[in-house]
Amino acid sequence: MIIPNGKIKVIMTDDSASFLNGLESMLQTDGRFEIIGRCANGSELLMHSGLGQADLLLIDIEMPVMNGIAAATKINFVDPQIPMIAITTNIRTVFLKDIICAGFKGFIYKPNIQDELFPTIDKVLKNKFVFPKELNL
């Protein structure tokens, strides 16, 4: 994926403000990213004014109001080209077929985010799929 202005515009969605703070800090240390949005649930993400300008969406799976699978499915229907990465702490409740059908290109298990965030982003932005072997089918 070629980013016109050199910065990768990211919208992060998670119901934990402290997780979003940590994620934002990680992305800012890299220098390639511009955070254009922080949302607390899938419904907020769908209504975010910057959604059409985002180069990457990082979306928690389990959230109140609207979960990440439902939000990603709606976004994928409208714009299947936008790269989306699923993030969750409950790897046992996530099914590979569900996240692929929703349009996710990658998956990060939250306890592994320090090691997996940037390699996963880099691969997903090159239009590669990144899913751990331990995901249920």
- What is the average per-residue pLDDT within 24-33? 94
Q: How many residues belong to the chain?
A: 137
- What is the average per-residue pLDDT within 112-119? 94
Looking at the domain assignment, is residue 2 inside a domain? no
How many whole angstroms separate alpha carbon 7 and alpha carbon 31? 8
Cβ count within 10 A of residue 64: 10
Looking at the domain assignment, is residue 130 inside a domain? no
Looking at the domain assignment, is residue 87 inside a domain? yes
pTM of the complete model: 0.92
- Which of 64, 33, 57, 35 lies closest to 108, judged by CA? 57
CB 10 within 8 A of CB 35: yes
Looking at the domain assignment, is residue 134 inside a domain? no
Residue 43 pLDDT > 70: yes
* Structural domain boundaries enclosing 29: 8-125
What integer pLDDT is reported at residue 29 of this predicted model?
A: 93
- What is the domain count for the chain? 1
Task: Write the pLDDT tens digit of every residue in 57-103.
Answer: 999 999 999 999 999 999 999 999 999 999 988 767 677 888 899 99
CATH of the domain at 94: 3.40.50.2300
